[in-house]
Amino acid sequence: MPDTHPALKACSPQAPVTDLYMGDDAYHNGAFMLEANFGFYVIFKPRAGLEYPPKDWDSFDYGTNDGYDFYLSMGRFRTPRNFISKTAIFYWDDQVQHPNYDEFWKVRDISAHMKNVQLRGDDSRRAF
């Protein structure tokens, strides 16, 4: 963890997001993950407070078993607003407005700020 308290002796991030564009959930080295991103955003609802997440998530009715046909009939790539809730659309907008690895993505890459990180165990040390 960057700039952590000196008393912290260990940190074990589980599936951390470091660079959303280069090989993480949103883009895979520049390839926009249309189905994965859309499938997440149609059910994603930012929480208003510290309430527990729902036991059952709402499912989205695609109206067809033909995924290719669904995305083709969606129309313009940048305007799926009639499918995605207004509260989650800002994530979608960020991604489609920055299709290239620009400053928007670079400043969000936490791995650029990680210094002197080491894995320790069975006599091996690797620095990132």
Instruction: Dump pLDDT digits (tens) for 51-107.
Output: 777 777 777 888 889 988 888 887 776 566 667 766 667 777 788 888 888 999 888
φ and ψ at residue 68, rounded to 5 degrees: -60, -45
Q: How confident is the model at residue 31 (pLDDT cuts 50, 70, 90)?
A: confident
Note the pTM of the prediction, 2 decimals.
0.62
Give the contacts of 100 (CB within 8 A, at least 6 positions apart).
30
Q: Give 27's pLDDT tier (boundaries 50, 70, 90).
A: confident
User: How confident is the prediction for the chain on average, in pLDDT?
Assistant: 76
Least Cα distance to 22 among 124, 102, 128, 115 occurs for 102
pLDDT band at 126 (very low <50, low <70, confident <90, very high): very low
Lowest average pLDDT, out of 6-15, 86-95, 117-126, goes to 117-126
Predicted local confidence at residue 125, as pLDDT: 46
Question: Does the pLDDT at position 38 exceed 60?
Answer: yes
Q: CA-to-CA distance for 1 and 31, rounded, in angstroms?
A: 29
Scored b (16 or more CB within 10 A) or e, 96-123 reads: eebeeeeeebeeebeeeeeeeeeeeeee
